[in-house]
Amino acid sequence: MAPVTRHQASGDGLVGNKSRHKRASSWDLLESQVHNAKNIGSARALHPSIEADHDDAITPLRNMADRVGKEVEKFAERLDLWLGYGTERTPGSEGKSPGTMVTRFRDEAKAISKPLKQRSIKEDTGARVSTTQRLISLREGLFEDVSVLEDTAGGGQGDHLNNVQKWEGEVDTWDLALLILSHRLSDATAGKEAPQQPKELHRYSSRQDVWDQFMLHDEDAKEKSLVLKWLQETADKNGERIEKLGEQFEKLGDGGHHGHGSWTHGWMATKERIKGEKRMGTLSHTNTEGPQPDLLNSSKSGLLVTQLDPDAPSRQSRILEDSDEYQERFLWFVSYQLLRRGKSLDEIRSWMNERNEGWRSVSLGITQEDDQPSSSVVAHGILWRRMCHAAANASNNIYERAVYGLLGGDLTSVRPVCSTWEDHLYAHFNCILSFRFDHFIKVAYPQTPGLTAARKFPSFNSRAFYGNAIPINDTVIQIINSEPSLKPSNLQRIQASLLTDSLDQLMCDVGAAIAEIACLDPRGKELYFTPEVPVKGYESFAEDEQALRVLLHAYLAFDEYYASKAPKRPAAQIKTMENLIVWYMELLRSARKLDLLPLYAAQLSPNRLGRTMALILPDIKSEEDQKRMVRLMTRYRVNVEFILEKQYQMALASCGLRSKVSLKDEPVAGNVDIVNPPTTPEFKILQKTTDYKWPGQKICVGFIKEDIQPPERAVIDAVHWFLHLKTWKLIFSSLEDALARFLAYGRVSAAFALSTQLPCAEISLEKTPHFLKGEVIDITLWEENGTAEPLSESEHEHSLRRPSLSRRRSPRVALDQSEPLEITITKKILKQDSKAAYDLQQLVLAIGALHEWATIEEEFITNGAQNSSTDKSSLKEVFDTISEILHPFLKKSTNTLYGIATAATPTSAAGPATVSIASSIATTELGAHFSVDVRRITNLRALLPFILPVYVPELVLAYASTIQSASHLLTRQYLTMSMELAALLADDECEEVVDLFAEVGRMRELVRLFASTGRCMVGMGSREKGDKPRRREWEGETIRVWDMTVRN
């Protein structure tokens, strides 16, 4: 099944769900499965959808992103099918073979190239300007420079032609890759023929038999023969049609003086001139052997020949009329093109005969019908190649020399007419193959006809020219790249790496060049590995989206081959090569094709994968898109937990809550370390006052700032991602850790935002069905001896708006005795894993409730009870919330934080209940889902000394102040809660809290506050006349106990 891709929609998130292109059925199936999946738990989104911002993309990536088309999706689909995600495929099967993937890539490129080329032919934009310029050079006799000229077609035609050439070049590259795979990997699906049995050579063995024996003997020569055939096919496919060349020749010839088609009847202009001179008596009709008169041609450029046989110009050292000279050059030019394109001998003979040039086909050794390729070494004997080599060095026409040079295996005579990188490669491989074949004949087949005579004539010695370099392809490529007139394209450099068996080295060089560019950007420093030795000359790949795609996918196809050659690559080399994969992923990210990222991320090493995806995931803000990405990563067998943990760690580092780790020093596993140590945060929410409503101190208004910094928002978002995993521990451990770090570093606003966006009760309602076989409960309210009565629908919605209020209604009912033991143990596990996060969240929510009280209190007092928009019911609701949070929070029996902070070891800090559960289920199936998280507890223990002493004393004092204020604003009976608070702190359950007051030196402040509250109670205890008796609280508490006028 292929990766799901889609276009982006505005509005609800980075990736929209409404507009998408139709694809193959397998894609559509996955699309429907993904979008019809039911959500588990609450339907309320816990996080808003925010449009992602890609302005941080590195400049070359932004420039390329607009040029990225559907081809990236097509190639991703093909790669996915080949890798076989979600299917059972074994290495070596047809679907898994590298040749299968390369064939699919080639077919995709062909599908794009074909319509472009058809349009080019239809609009007649396929004619290369370079070909026209070459014909002009032939007409003017300018042989010095035959390099390909820049395409000067104007406007859209030039752009379209360039696009056609790019896609044709890509098709050619995939064809070459398939050829290399066929030969080097013996891939049957790539078209490798069954090996032939060697034949014994004898005097009457045919040239084909000798050639076949040579191919079996020399594998490198066989590969060069295949490459030559590939070069012939690409030249024929991509070059100008021969018929079109003839039409252009007529237009550029002599202005149509002799009429259409006259150039097919020999040297017409020269023939007419000679006839005219003979009629005038200047030339003799009979004296052809003696001295000839000095007769200039019409343009006065040289002496004109006096005879019309083919050898006359060379024999007399004279020239033809200009139009005939042009015709002669053109015919040799076409002859070279026919040979270069690998046309058969029969095709060349027919073409020559149609133009009355039969003698020319004979001079090329074509005397009978033969379907052999004209430039094939096997087409002629060794003596014939020697003769052609001699002819190549005797002519003044560079194309005539090149023609005989190709036939004779010469390099020197062919190089001057080579105008492209492929032409040069063809010339080199042709001469190497000819030399090796001749050498094989001398050694293995000395009885070949003409060998003795051939020894008397020289030939091009490729061994002397190239030296003893092994492999010789490297030397050939170096020579070609040193040509001053050539500048190989990136696709040609990929082709060169295929030929030199150095695709992995090219990946490494491009990766190093990418690092040099990317690391100029802050984001790039986080993503890319910079090798110690910089590499220059490959920067153009970073801005060529086509070359990047081809190189990456070609390497993935060849990866198995290179891994077999070098199973243990150096770590630095792997990281450098992976730079290209990361760069391509960043390109997809900039082009908003995020659905493709998990597929390529799966090709990275684990740590690199985690770091890369961790920097990409923050772009996805929509709840549905996040779930979709998690499903895709799971499908591609990516360790989603590791990635999300890495994202969380990096967010902490960016926020200053964790030390940063560079890519070079990346740890093997996610070690969440503490920045050593955090400075003790400042948390002061009380200010002095002399107003009688407060006991000397009151809560400051607006002490929680609403603005959350982007790094803090990133941490919150990172925690939110854990909600999409089917795990319980990770979401609560990350929530616990984030809250602890925010509080330890004084980021109260961020802690409050995290608590309100991810309340433990909400997480529990969403997650428990997966672990409790469909049962939905708030695990924070569950107790082993009873379970919370389910909330009504209205109460549940109310609890979502004010999470802490869900504690208000928690009557206990008897435990269902029919509940399976497994479910009960699971609930214990879930409770233990979430308890510390819940307690920290209660601390934060208490701070938030006090902040809300100060705001409402200020409005109520300022505007007066009658004019205030806030009635007493709102004040009472907030006050009750504060009480219901703080009373259990102060007790060590209901708050695990005190035990963790004072425990001697992390294991003992987990609590006896946790250890008991772990030991009792260690050998059961539940044991795989539960263990004592020593690392988490260790981190929390390190942070609690910066939390509990800072926040708990301040909250207790603020709560006491709130009690007195509530007694003035609501009812005097609230003063009894001051006695309850004092009694609670005096109890052994709160000894840790008292110790915290003593630790920070605020015990005297606490005593003074209780004394002030006591005086208030005494003053308010005396009822004024006419007051109605106040009702007692449910345990008999009454403020009248402090009224000194009351009789016993």
Taking the C-alpha atoms of residue 510 and residue 516, their distance in angstroms, rounded to an integer, is 10
Q: Where are the beta strands (DSSP E) in 768-898?
A: 787-788, 812-813
**Does 819 reside within a domain?**
no
On the question of a cis peptide bond just before residue 531, with omega within 30 degrees of 0, the verdict is no
The three-class DSSP label of residue 687 is: strand
Tell which wins on pLDDT, 214 or 252.
214
β-partners of residue 686 are 699
Q: Verify that 452 and 549 share a domain, yes or no.
A: no
Taking the C-alpha atoms of residue 6 and residue 595, their distance in angstroms, rounded to an integer, is 8
DSSP output for 408-439: HT-STTTGGG--SHHHHHHHHHHHHHHHHHHH
Upper half-sphere CA count for residue 177 (Cβ side, 13 Å): 35
Characterize 77-90 residue by residue with b for buried, 16 or more Cβ atoms within 10 angstroms of its Cβ, and e for exposed. bbbbbbbebeeeee
**Does 591 reside within a domain?**
yes
DSSP output for 901-953: HH-SSHHHHT-HHHHHHHHHSTTSGGGGG----HHHHHHHHHHGGGTHHHHHH
Q: Verify that 468 and 522 share a domain, yes or no.
A: no
Instruction: Of 427, 542, 544, give the one whose Cα is nearest residue 491.
Output: 544
**Does 624 reside within a domain?**
yes
Identity at 237, one-letter amino acid code: K
Q: Verify that 420 and 309 share a domain, yes or no.
A: yes
**Residue after which a domain boundary falls, among 634, 668, 698:** 634
Report yes or no: 486 and 424 within 8 Å, Cβ to Cβ: yes
pLDDT in tens, 942-990: 899 999 999 999 999 999 999 999 988 888 888 888 888 999 999 999 9
Res 948: pLDDT: 95
- 319: which DSSP letter? B
Instruction: Of 70, 15, 11, give the one whose Cα is nearest residue 619.
Output: 15
Res 867: pLDDT: 54
Res 521: pLDDT: 83
Token pair, residue 890, equals 């102060």
The radius of gyration computed from the CA coordinates of the chain, to the nearest angstrom, equals 43
Q: Verify that 213 and 314 share a domain, yes or no.
A: yes
Backbone φ and ψ of 291, nearest 5°: -60, 140
pLDDT in tens, 717-744: 999 999 999 889 899 999 999 999 999 9
Instruction: Name every residue whose Cβ is closer than 8 Å to that of residue 53 and which is 6 or more positions away in sequence.
Output: 619
| Mean pLDDT computed over 50-70 | 65
Report yes or no: 967 and 1020 within 8 Å, Cβ to Cβ: yes
Report yes or no: 17 and 35 within 8 Å, Cβ to Cβ: yes
Res 136: pLDDT: 57
Q: Verify that 463 and 372 share a domain, yes or no.
A: yes
Token pair, residue 310, equals 């083919």
**Does 459 reside within a domain?**
yes
Which position has the token pair 């000395």? Answer: 446
Kindly indicate the confidence band of residue 805, based on its pLDDT and cuts at 50, 70 and 90. Answer: very low
Token pair, residue 529, equals 């590995």
Taking the C-alpha atoms of residue 503 and residue 185, their distance in angstroms, rounded to an integer, is 15
Q: Verify that 431 and 509 share a domain, yes or no.
A: no
- 197: which DSSP letter? P
Kindly indicate the confidence band of residue 870, based on its pLDDT and cuts at 50, 70 and 90. Answer: low
Q: Verify that 423 and 537 share a domain, yes or no.
A: no
Res 973: pLDDT: 83
**Residue after which a domain boundary falls, among 437, 459, 481:** 481
**Does 980 reside within a domain?**
no
**Does 342 reside within a domain?**
yes
Whole-number percent of the chain with pLDDT over 90: 37
Kindly indicate the confidence band of residue 154, based on its pLDDT and cuts at 50, 70 and 90. Answer: very low
Q: Verify that 562 and 470 share a domain, yes or no.
A: no
Taking the C-alpha atoms of residue 740 and residue 719, their distance in angstroms, rounded to an integer, is 13
Q: Verify that 370 and 329 share a domain, yes or no.
A: yes
What is the domain range of residue 611?
490-634
Token pair, residue 907, equals 């294991």
Q: Verify that 323 and 375 share a domain, yes or no.
A: yes
Residue 923 predicted with pLDDT over 80: no
Of 7-21, 131-145, 322-336, minimum mean pLDDT range = 7-21
Identity at 789, one-letter amino acid code: E
Which position has the token pair 């040079």? Answer: 405
Q: Verify that 301 and 399 share a domain, yes or no.
A: yes
β-partners of residue 319 are 304
| Mean pLDDT computed over 786-795 | 48
Q: Verify that 500 and 471 share a domain, yes or no.
A: no
Proportion of the chain in helix, strand, coil states, percent, rounded to 5: 60, 0, 35
- Other Cβ atoms less than 10 A from the Cβ of 1002: the count is 17
Residue 27 predicted with pLDDT over 90: no
Q: Are strands 686-688 and 812-813 parallel, antiparallel or unpaired?
A: unpaired
**Does 247 reside within a domain?**
yes
- 808: which DSSP letter? S
The three-class DSSP label of residue 1043 is: coil
Instruction: Of 906, 879, 895, give the one whose Cα is nearest residue 951.
Output: 895
Res 851: pLDDT: 95
Of 74-83, 614-623, 810-819, minimum mean pLDDT range = 810-819
**Does 351 reside within a domain?**
yes
Domain count, the chain: 2
**Residue after which a domain boundary falls, among 457, 481, 505:** 481
pLDDT in tens, 737-755: 999 999 999 999 999 999 9
Taking the C-alpha atoms of residue 543 and residue 490, their distance in angstroms, rounded to an integer, is 11
Taking the C-alpha atoms of residue 501 and residue 564, their distance in angstroms, rounded to an integer, is 13
- Other Cβ atoms less than 10 A from the Cβ of 70: the count is 14
CA-CA-CA-CA torsion sign (126, 130, 131, 133): positive
pTM metric for this prediction = 0.80
The three-class DSSP label of residue 148 is: coil
Token pair, residue 927, equals 């044991």
